[in-house]
Amino acid sequence: MSGAALSRPQLRVARLDLWIDPVFDETIARDGTLDLRVLPAGGDAVTAAGLAGAHAYHVSAAKDEVPARWQVSADLLPQCPQLLCVSSGGAGYDTVDVAACTRAGVAVVNQAGANAASVAEMTFALLLSLVKRLGESEAALRAGTAVSREALMGHEIEGRVIGIVGIGEIGRRVARIATGFGLKVIAYDPLLTDAQIAERGAAPVSFDALLEQADIVSLHCPLNAVTRGMVDAAALRRMKRGALFVSTARGGIHDEDALLAALESGHIAGAGLDVWQVEPPPPRSGLLQRPDVAAAFHTGGVTHEGRRKVAQGSATQILDMLAGRKPARLLNPEVWPRFLARLAEHGVKV
């Protein structure tokens, strides 16, 4: 260990005892100046005390995994007076109130892009499962009822139009793969200019135009106050009759009841869903009973490679922040000067 490392104050990093790729702990341990605390997700006093003394907190991005009392909320933050930074373990940050963190002087990062390849691949796994009717074909084979191949006839996607809602790290990969399949790509993203969308391989359109033109609508946007419920009954009615709907984004962006009704009426021909309002969804969910729904348990980004990249990115950004280096995925850049001042109060020279 270098003399510089020895002179730095020891800061504490906390995480819950939920599964994470071992590279996170290994990366934190290699630094030599940080004290890692693994706290029980089902704990009470021990976990509260551990978070109260933590300077950095790695938290899963999945709300259904993290008990509400340990999510980074306006209620939790006053109980964590030492907390300097929070790292969300995914591209999403549903478990973190970023605005409350900003008010408290706490820097927040996510891992956008770390599992982008995994999620983009899942988009096409769901889409191809739908158009090739893989679930129905497998069920017929296993049940011994497969007699006529024509009864399980599917479709091609070549030549169709795919509309990408949100063309960030994941969406741009979806656009690239779509081009390889011979799809025409259009996209809507209010955070990007038309030129930026075009640079990412898509023709820019409005949200309404996307719904009206796309044969396949694929969601790749975050869940927030703007996008919650964005794909409602009215939006589904604007889609082409016979269009397909795919989401690997977040449950809550689309209205599940409205989607079920659109499938039942035949207006929407099929849906590929990796995300749900409640995860896992109830086994008797109407959507899960339909052969025109390809379903997954929010596993798009849950690959060995994706999870390792997320864990490595989270640990690296925590190391950067606690050393006074601006991280790559800072969600609230306006907090940075105050963060540095708070870090200096803990004896870190920046």
Residue 321 within any structural domain of the chain: yes
Confidence band for 2, pLDDT divided at 50, 70 and 90: very low
CATH of residue 133: 3.40.50.720
pLDDT of 148 higher than 90: yes
Domain that includes residue 335, residue range: 3-112+304-345
The reply to whether 190 and 214 lie within a common domain is yes
DSSP at 280? S
256 assigned to active site: no
The reply to whether 199 and 328 lie within a common domain is no
Instruction: Give the per-residue pLDDT at 264.
Output: 98
Query: The dihedral of CA 72, 16, 23, 62: what is its sign?
Result: negative
Instruction: Give the per-residue pLDDT at 8.
Output: 57
The reply to whether 144 and 241 lie within a common domain is yes
Exactly one of 55, 200, 298, 342 is catalytic; name it. Answer: 298
| Residue 42 burial by Cβ neighbours in a 10 Å radius (0-12, 13-18, 19+) | exposed
The reply to whether 140 and 263 lie within a common domain is yes
The reply to whether 133 and 73 lie within a common domain is no
Exactly one of 8, 200, 220, 250 is catalytic; name it. Answer: 250
The reply to whether 246 and 136 lie within a common domain is yes
Of 275, 295, 315, the residue that ends a domain is: 295
Exactly one of 65, 136, 212, 279 is catalytic; name it. Answer: 279
CB atoms within 10 A of CB 28: 23
346 assigned to active site: no
pLDDT of 258 higher than 70: yes
Contact between 205 and 187 (Cβ < 8 Å): yes
> Domain count of the chain?
2
Instruction: Give the per-residue pLDDT at 4.
Output: 44
| Average pLDDT of the segment spanning 240-262 | 97
37 assigned to active site: no
Confidence band for 349, pLDDT divided at 50, 70 and 90: confident
| Average pLDDT of the segment spanning 89-99 | 91
pLDDT of 303 higher than 70: yes
Helices and strands counted in the chain (H then E): 13, 12
CB atoms within 10 A of CB 257: 13
